Structure 1
Amino acid sequence: MNLFVPSSRKLLSAVVGSLLSVQAAFAAIVPAPVSGDIFLAFRASGGTGGSQSYIVNLGTDANFRNATTSFTVTGLGNIGADLTEIYGPGWSSRGDLFWGIFAARVSTSSIIYGSRERNPVTSVSPAWSLIDTTSRNTTAGQISSVIDSIGGYRGREATANSPVAAVQPNTGEASSYNKQVASAGTKDFGSLSEWSSIEGDFGSGPAGTALDLYRIAGASGVTRVGHFTISAEGVVQFNIPTVTPPVDVDTDGDGFLDSQEALAGTNPNDASDFFRIQSLQRSAGGTGVAFKTIPGSSYQIYYSENLAAGSWVRIATVTGGASPTLHQYLDDNLDRRARAKGFYKVSVGN
């Protein structure tokens, strides 16, 4: 009888092969997304990478809403390497490569997030419209399809370069990012969103595109969270909104700006209350000039003999006292007292 005994080398080879197969079956999966996570997606309308989208989880919306300074988004790995691998080394100058940002907090009154490209990048984009609860909930459902449904981001294999990024084949299913934003005849994530396009493109390079992110809720309405930029290396930057000083106005129409009325201590909502000389009275001792003063303000008194250009001369400075009062200034200058006429004005500063 002939017995076949396999060599130990062949047995070892078989075991190693089995181990390798098991390791391949357990490739890393992207972390499970949670409600409110912000997603960044890329797609090409044709050419290299035109059959697939690239989706990255940027993290919870709270990180961006509560930011007090601008920052580089970390924890993304090397998405620049992924973009190069998927869309080619010239990805950052492709006019047919698009990027967009979206998110949803699904509830009976959902909150949705959608980006809008700046044009130019130095100017804030027009805000998206406030939509009703039904429209928000429907849009949130479409966004959730891309994030959570079968074929969506959840459960996909992470790329070799990023633990939070996945490649998604473009399909005709609701879970396809490409379908949600590239379907003709409808808005992004469905017609009820009223989003004409959440995307920008790289036709002018990374420096030529920036995305504002808008939050659309119920009672709080539409707010701009900030804007995103990306470098040619794939580094994502979040920029908080710049606080613009309010435009100074004349609320009561009395000819004085509200800021001027605050300085003078007058009511910006009352056209009859404005800073002025209350009375001007000549006497044997001089000319009395009466005006209201408030603490912390400084008052300069000027005199002109004939109102000619350059004829105004400052004759005194008065500092407001501990409480608002009607101040009486007496001009007892002998030369001015001897003149038949003269003019006074008072300015206020701090």
Structure 2
Amino acid sequence: MNFFDFSRCIPALAAAIVSMPLVAHAAPFVFSGDDLVLGIQASGGTGASQNIFVRLGNTVTIKNSPNRGVVANIAADLTATYGDDWFSREDVFFGVFGNRSGVSPGTDPGTAGQEPGRTVYLSSPTTTAGGSLLRAQFGTNTLSRGCSNYGGMRDVLTRSTSSNTEVLEATASGATVMDQAIHPVSWNNSWTVRNPVSGASFEIFNAMQNSFGKGTEVLVDIQRMTPSAPSTYVATVGIAANGDVRIFTASQTSPFQAWALTFPSLDTPEKRLPSADPDNDGLTNLMEFILDGNPGVHDSSVAPVLNASGENFVFSFNRRDDSEAGTTLVFQHSSDLSV
């Protein structure tokens, strides 16, 4: 009778097990339907087939306590997806959106920590915190349509759709990267598909994104909309050159910013800059504000008038009362026409 000595195999088997490589699997991306999502896309070039998604937090929490500070650093994700030059690329865009339910608020009033149905959080590009134009009120059916279009993306991010088995894995920062080649089903509800750069986001909302390439921290304001009222300002989201994502609020809207927002013709952040002259009348917006002019009408009649009175020059102009606190006027003069 022959006997097989298994004791000789045990050390070899143990060595084989020890030498087997360990494969680490990233954790799934964590997202709730009550959360705000930050979406990033490239309209062309490197990364055009990839989106980055960042969970910003619960909508109600942010509404009630908006000064969150830095909530993430996604520099590694941005570099890996869009290249080392991501911050200087004008074709890389981002925006913010949030909606838990498309059901009418009468049917779905929400519970603690939840917003009523058809409550929408969406971004608007700005150059200063709180400086974007507030959106007009949308009808309940229009908001329902926008919520429905977002629903597919929300289902993908929360993995609540049984037809989609493509798991979005979290990166080291807690964000996730959706790749068209790896996630072809999810891509049908990607940020790129639902937020075309030259079209309406979720088929309803215009001008929701801002782009990099400005040399400074890039900002979007978050606005809250319901079927019963126009939008209100909630907070501002900024992405800095070092990849920091922060949520904060305008500490105080300056008199100049409040004034600029009253002119419909100043319909972009660039047109509302203090140094801008959108009506090309030689007076910057800041001068129009001080002199109580109209930045949307080519008219320099409000400019100061210089008259001689004996041996004196009299510099005459009208000044807005609310411009006195934040601006200082200096009369410059020279004996040889240089300043």
Give the equivalent residue in structure 2 for 1:179.
193
Query: Unpaired runs of 5+ in structure 2?
Result: 106-117, 259-339
Distance 1:245 1:188, change over 3 A: closer
Q: 1:130 aligns with which of 127, 134, 137?
A: 137
1:233, distance to aligned residue in structure 2 (A): 1.3
TM-score (norm 1): 0.58
Task: Give the letter for the 2:136 counterpart.
Answer: S
Q: Matched residues in 2 for 1:162 and 1:152: separation?
A: 24
Tell me, yes or no, if structure 1 residue 196 matches structure 2 residue 206.
yes
Q: Matched residues in 2 for 1:2 and 1:196: separation?
A: 80
Distance 1:56 1:114, change over 3 A: same
Between the two proteins, the alignment pairs up a number of residues equal to: 232
Q: 1:117 aligns with which of 108, 120, 125?
A: 125
Q: Matched residues in 2 for 1:200 and 1:154: separation?
A: 29
Q: Matched residues in 2 for 1:17 and 1:196: separation?
A: 56
1:174, distance to aligned residue in structure 2 (A): 3.9
Give the equivalent residue in structure 2 for 1:229.
238
Task: Give the letter for the 1:50 counterpart.
Answer: A
- For residues 165-184 of structure 1, what are the alpha-carbon distances to aligned partners after superposition, in whole Å with 9 as ceiling and x for unaligned? 11112458542111001276
Query: Is the 2:43–2:197 contact (alpha carbons within 8 Å) kept by the matching residues of 1?
Result: no
Query: Is the 2:130–2:235 contact (alpha carbons within 8 Å) kept by the matching residues of 1?
Result: no
TM-score (norm 2): 0.60
Task: Give the letter for the 2:221 counterpart.
Answer: D
Q: 5 Å matches for 1:157-172? A: 157-159=169-171, 161-163=172-174, 165-170=175-180
Query: Unpaired runs of 5+ in structure 1?
Result: 248-350
1:41, distance to aligned residue in structure 2 (A): 1.1
Give the equivalent residue in structure 1 for 2:60.
62
Tell me, yes or no, if structure 1 residue 148 matches structure 2 residue 155.
yes
Give the equivalent residue in structure 2 for 1:29.
28
Query: Is the 1:42–1:99 contact (alpha carbons within 8 Å) kept by the matching residues of 2?
Result: yes
1:238, distance to aligned residue in structure 2 (A): 1.8
Distance 1:179 1:219, change over 3 A: same
1:4, distance to aligned residue in structure 2 (A): 9.4
Query: Is the 1:169–1:176 contact (alpha carbons within 8 Å) kept by the matching residues of 2?
Result: no
- For residues 91-143 of structure 1, what are the alpha-carbon distances to aligned partners after superposition, in whole Å with 9 as ceiling and x for unaligned? 1111111111111021323111111111x447712222321112212211222
Which one has a larger percent strand, Structure 1 or Structure 2?
A: 1
Task: Give the letter for the 2:22 counterpart.
Answer: L
Distance 1:13 1:40, change over 3 A: farther
Q: 1:89 aligns with which of 65, 84, 87?
A: 84
Q: 2:221 aligns with which of 212, 218, 233?
A: 212
Which gives a bigger RCO, structure 1 or 2 (Cα 8 Å, sep 6+)?
2
Q: Matched residues in 1 for 2:130 and 2:58: separation?
A: 26
Distance 1:19 1:213, change over 3 A: same
Query: Is the 1:58–1:73 contact (alpha carbons within 8 Å) kept by the matching residues of 2?
Result: no
Query: Is the 2:47–2:82 contact (alpha carbons within 8 Å) kept by the matching residues of 1?
Result: yes
Tell me, yes or no, if structure 1 residue 101 matches structure 2 residue 96.
yes
Q: Highest Rg: 1 or 2? A: 1
Q: Matched residues in 2 for 1:18 and 1:157: separation?
A: 24
1:11, distance to aligned residue in structure 2 (A): 1.4
Give the equivalent residue in structure 2 for 1:282.
none
RMSD over aligned Cα atoms = 3.1
